[in-house]
Amino acid sequence: MEHNKISEYLTVINPSSNGSVGEIPSSIGSLKELHLLNLSNNAIAGSIPSSLGNLTILEALDLSRNELTGKIPPELTQLTSLAFFIVSDTRLSGPIAREKQLNTFENGSYGGNLGLCGAPLTKK
């Protein structure tokens, strides 16, 4: 179901620890007023949609403790307002982009992903 007015007012999505399954819908990237997205502690699978890079005023993104796979999309480097970013304890792989805001997050943001490599992790 689509609600056209929701995207004008929705600033927080926090269904953490509620047993959510499935994939992150790419349509979340159209919620331009979103400041916080917390999907942690669920059973969400699939990849991180590159459309999340459209959330230019997003300040907090927590995708930790899910079944996410694939790489961290390079589009997330466009999130220059991001102050909190955590993808720990998922199944992500590949190099971590060290550009713009993603360059400010430490090892703890990425921990528990055996396939991730590059700074700030010691695995090259």
Domain extent for 51: 6-117
Look at the chain and report how many structural domains it folds into: 1
123 in a domain, yes or no? Answer: no
Distances (CA, A) of 91 to 12, 24, 46, 47: 25, 15, 10, 10
Tokens for 49, please give them: 């949609």
Residue 106 has a pLDDT of 85
124 in a domain, yes or no? Answer: no
**Partners of 43 in the beta sheet?**
21
> d(Cα 117, Cα 30) in Å, to the nearest integer?
30
pLDDT class for 101, splitting at 50, 70, 90? confident
18 in a domain, yes or no? Answer: yes
Q: What is the pLDDT of residues 5-61, one digit of tens each?
A: 555 567 888 888 888 899 999 999 999 899 999 999 999 999 999 999 999 999 999
> d(Cα 102, Cα 8) in Å, to the nearest integer?
27
1 in a domain, yes or no? Answer: no
- Has residue 99 got a pLDDT over 90? no
Residue 103 has a pLDDT of 79
113 in a domain, yes or no? Answer: yes
Residue 48 has a pLDDT of 97
Write the CATH number for 64: 3.80.10.10
Which residue in 113, 32, 27 sits closest to 65, CA to CA?
Answer: 113
Residue 58 has a pLDDT of 94
Q: What is the pLDDT of residues 51-97, one digit of tens each?
A: 999 999 999 999 999 999 999 999 999 999 999 999 999 999 998 88
